[in-house]
Structure 1
């Protein structure tokens, strides 16, 4: 018996079932809120509590005074605590596809801030 295909996506002349093209389900990108919640959960597993706030396509993860991470669903960004030679703030960024690794980097910055003298204590003296 000879198979005679009418076209690549329809059934052949002798087969009753239509052929379906091989396809993968498209991967749905995560929203900014979802990636922020993933980061918050990764930080929580490290013993660091954080709050998540969302609006206008961005989400913020408030970790500590001077440490707010924002995401657009693709990247995490936060201030490094440093400035360039021209005085511009320098930001760190990390792919939102790796919340665990981003959380480890953010935890390092969190530890720096916790060890630094408090802004309130410095201002009170």
Structure 2
């Protein structure tokens, strides 16, 4: 967790001081793999296992069937489980400098998927 640095751009709900976003770090922004690993660690602290895979400047956090989160080091993105009126998949996104808060949102989606009947189990 990166709570040591701060600036006036972003505030963390758990910290009184603002902190610097990943992509604007003048020293070295985190890579997609490092950002994905922070999310994996945040999910693990919540009891949710996940795997991290990397390639082509992107990283993927595999959480559950139908729940894969990918990151470019600046944003986390995952499918919400919904489609638009035109049939396009709708995606959620969250800034990568907040892995703990992103993990809370992803945990909610994880719970939805675990409660839903499996397509494989139903035999569809």
Aligned twin of 2:12: none
2:109 equivalent to 1:114: no
Summarize deviations over 1:97-123 as a string: whole Å, max 9, x none.
000000000000000000000111111
- 3-state SS in 2 of match to 1:117: coil
- 3-state SS in 1 of match to 2:123: helix
Aligned twin of 2:44: 44
Aligned twin of 2:8: none
Q: Which ranges of structure 2 fall in alignment gaps of 5 or more residues?
A: 1-24
- 3-state SS in 2 of match to 1:47: coil
Aligned twin of 1:58: 58
Deviation at 1:26, TM superposition (A): 2.6
Runs of 4+ in 1 over 2 A off after TM superposition: none
Structure number with bigger Rg? 1
Q: RMSD of the TM alignment (CA)?
A: 1.2
Aligned twin of 1:30: 30
> d(CA) in 2 for partners of 1:49 and 1:27?
31
Corresponding residue pairs, total: 100
Summarize deviations over 1:63-83 as a string: whole Å, max 9, x none.
000000000000000000000
TM-score by length of structure 2 reads: 0.78
Q: Which ranges of structure 1 fall in alignment gaps of 5 or more residues?
A: 1-24
- 3-state SS in 2 of match to 1:30: coil
TM-score by length of structure 1 reads: 0.78
Residues 84-103 of structure 1: pairs in structure 2 closer than 5 A: 84-103=84-103
